[in-house]
A = this chain, B = another copy of it.
Amino acid sequence: MNKLLIVGTVAFDAIETPFGKTDKILGGAGTYIGLSASFFKLQQAIVSVVGEDFPQEYIDLLTDRNIDVTGLEVVKGGKTFFWSGRYHNDLNSRDTLDTQLNVLADFKPVVPQHYKDADVVLLGNLHPMVQISVLDQMEKQPKLVVLDTMNFWMDCALPELLEVIKRVDVITINDEEARQLSGEYSLVKAAAKIRTMGPEYVVIKKGEHGALLFHDKEVFFAPALPLEEVFDPTGAGDTFAGGFAGYITQSENISFENMKNAIIYGSNMASFCVEKFGTERMVDLTKEEVLDRLEQFKALTQFDISLGDE
């Protein structure tokens, strides 16, 4: 089985949506990515950091899914990264209520020796210097490096971000962030400009409006599944990235045609994530549900106009 190496936060979240609020629950980009990727046939490891306050049951939840936590540092006496946010009524925007970096402030990622030859590396949303450090520790050039990032790093660490962008094959980024990074309003132009910064492939995430995959002159679109209710969007982008990278790792195929499947799988996984608070839905999700929903994605998007119809 191929190896996927993930770097990303493992954290506590406290979330408020119009449907309710949670106390401190399991969260973090790395957590969502790992849970999502665990639905594919692969080996995976997560590089991250938590404090001594992080419950063993949460770590067990990761290892139960065959996520290697050798690279998950537990800082004695340290406190785990904590984020708290409140979503607006449309669930498309949110306010950050609190951010406590805690052990993340001094995080020095250590890639486990047996993952320095990983086939696919997914650099989850973190400081670009952490992402670069992970790449620097690889002993073999991965077949594919995927970067997820956000506007926060554009605002406060742009030179470092541009450095890591140069070194990745795929960037996943949301629409507003693509516009900010490129200075272009049109997403077609934004993707073209971002491709000149390094990545061969640009994935622009549009939330409830789906995701676009750009490469050369080609473009592919994966819709979000229309849902009766979006309960909590937290982690949807990370879950998308985990599904994307998980599928690529499993299939050993980095062609554009196969990446189409990968972003469909990313949308598929993300469509579950938003159905309950935090990681709850990803934890109770079954492989059968994922395959059923793949059929829904086909019904949603596949059509058959033959030339005879002309």
A interface, CB within 8 angstroms of B = 89-90, 185-189, 206, 209-210, 212, 218-221, 223, 226-230, 251, 257, 260-261, 264-265, 291, 294, 298-305, 309-310
A146 to B301, CA, bound (A): 22
Can you sample 21 A-B contacts with CB below 8 Å? A89-B185, A90-B185, A186-B227, A188-B228, A189-B228, A206-B209, A209-B210, A210-B210, A219-B226, A219-B299, A219-B300, A220-B299, A220-B303, A221-B300, A221-B301, A251-B309, A260-B303, A261-B303, A301-B302, A301-B303, A302-B302
Closest to A226 in B: B188
Known: A89-B185, A206-B209. 19 other contacts (CB 8 A): A90-B185, A186-B227, A187-B226, A188-B226, A188-B228, A189-B228, A210-B223, A218-B299, A219-B300, A220-B299, A221-B300, A223-B223, A251-B309, A261-B305, A261-B309, A291-B310, A294-B305, A298-B305, A301-B301
Instruction: Find chain B residues with CB under 8 A from A261 CB.
Output: 303-305, 309
**Contact across chains for B228 and A186 when beta carbons are under 8 A apart:** yes
For the complex of A and B, 10 pairs with smallest distance between CB atoms: A209-B209, A260-B303, A221-B223, A261-B305, A188-B228, A188-B226, A221-B300, A301-B301, A219-B226, A261-B303
A212 & B188 in contact (Cβ 8 Å cutoff):
no
Which residues of B have CB within 8 Å of A305?
261, 264-265, 294, 298
B223 and A303 contacting across the interface, CB-CB below 8 Å = no
Chain B positions within 8 Å of A221 at CB level: 223, 226, 300-301
Q: Which residue of B lies closest to A224 (CB)?
A: B221
A260 to B301, CA, bound (A): 9
- Of chain B, the residue at the smallest CB distance from A184 is B228
A260 CB contacts on chain B under 8 angstroms: 303
Please indicate the chain B residues that have their CB under 8 angstroms from the CB of A219 in the complex.
Answer: 226, 299-300
In whole angstroms, how far apart are the Cα atoms of A187 and B227 in the complex?
8
Q: What's the nearest-Cβ distance from chain B to residue A199, in Å?
A: 17
What B residues does A294 contact at CB under 8 A? 305
A220 contacts B300, CB within 8 Å? Answer: yes
* Chain B residues, Cβ within 8 Å of A187: 226
Within the complex, the shortest CB–CB distance from A201 to chain B, in Å, comes to 15
The chain B residue with its CB closest to the CB of A300 is B221
Taking CB atoms, residues of chain B closer than 8 Å to A291 are 310
Give the residue among A186, A206, A226, A257 with the most B Cβ atoms within 10 A: A226
